[in-house]
Structure 1
Amino acid sequence: MENVKDTFKEVAAAILPVTIVVIILQVALMRLPLEALLQFLVGVVFVSIGFFLFLLGVTAGLLPVGELIGKKLPKTKKSWLIIGTGFLLGLAVTIAEPDVRVLAKQIDQVSAGEISSGILVMAVALGLAIFVAAAMVRTIFSIPIHYMLIGGYVLVFALSMFVPDTFVSISFDAGGVTTGPMAVPFILALGVGVASVLRAPSASSSEGFGLIGLASIGPILAIMLLGVLFQ
Structure 2
Amino acid sequence: MSIIASTAQHFLSTFVGTIRDVLPIVIIMFGFQLAVLRRPVANWRKVLAGFVLVIFGLSFFLMGLELALFPLGESMAMQLTAPSFLFDSDETVPLHIDWTEYYWVYLFAAAIGFSTTIAEPSLIAVAIKASQVSGGTIKVNGLRIAVALGVAMGIALGSYRIVAGDPLHYYILVGYVVVVVQTYFAPKMIVPLAYDSGGVTTSTVTVPIVTALGLGLASTVPGRNPMLDGFGLIAFASLFPMITVMGYAQLSVWKGQQASKGDSQDAL
**Under a length normalisation based on structure 2, what TM-score does the superposition of the two structures give?**
0.81
Aligned to 2:225: 204
Aligned to 2:93: none
Aligned to 2:72: 65
1:228, CA displacement in angstroms?
A: 1.1
**Relative to structure 2, which stretch is displaced further, 25-34 or 141-150?**
25-34
Residue 28 in 1 paired to residue 32 in 2?
Answer: no
Distance in 2, matches of 1:24 and 1:106, equals: 26
Residue 40 in 1 paired to residue 61 in 2?
Answer: no
> Aligned ranges for residues 71-110 of structure 1 at < 5 Å?
71-75=78-82, 76-77=85-86, 78-110=101-133
Distance in 2, matches of 1:177 and 1:219, equals: 10
CA contact (8 A) 2:11 2:60 kept: no
**Any stretches of 5+ residues in structure 1 without a counterpart?**
none
Distance change (3 Å), C-alpha of 1:178 and 1:34: closer
AA in 1 matched with 2:72:
V
Distance in 2, matches of 1:45 and 1:105, equals: 24
Aligned to 1:10: 17
CA contact (8 A) 1:64 1:189 kept: yes
1:5, CA displacement in angstroms?
A: 4.2
**Any stretches of 5+ residues in structure 2 without a counterpart?**
1-5, 87-100, 254-268
Aligned to 2:213: 190
1:34, CA displacement in angstroms?
A: 5.0
Deviation per CA, 1:201-223, whole angstroms, max 9, x where unpaired? Answer: xx212212111112211110001
Distance in 2, matches of 1:29 and 1:128, equals: 41
CA contact (8 A) 2:202 2:237 kept: no
Distance in 2, matches of 1:3 and 1:114, equals: 45
1:9, CA displacement in angstroms?
A: 3.4
Q: Percent identity?
A: 34
1:104, CA displacement in angstroms?
A: 0.8
**Relative to structure 2, which stretch is displaced further, 167-176 or 19-28?**
19-28
CA contact (8 A) 1:91 1:125 kept: yes
**Relative to structure 2, which stretch is displaced further, 73-82 or 182-191?**
73-82
1:172, CA displacement in angstroms?
A: 0.7
Deviation per CA, 1:101-130, whole angstroms, max 9, x where unpaired? Answer: 111111111111111101111100011101
Secondary structure of 2:189's aligned partner: helix
Secondary structure of 2:204's aligned partner: coil
Q: Higher Cα Rg: structure 1 or 2?
A: 2
AA in 2 matched with 1:139:
I
Residue 161 in 1 paired to residue 184 in 2?
Answer: yes
Secondary structure of 2:182's aligned partner: helix
Distance in 2, matches of 1:156 and 1:224, equals: 9
What RMSD in Å do the two structures reach over aligned CA positions? Answer: 1.5
CA contact (8 A) 2:198 2:241 kept: yes
**Relative to structure 2, which stretch is displaced further, 102-111 or 73-82?**
73-82
AA in 2 matched with 1:4:
F
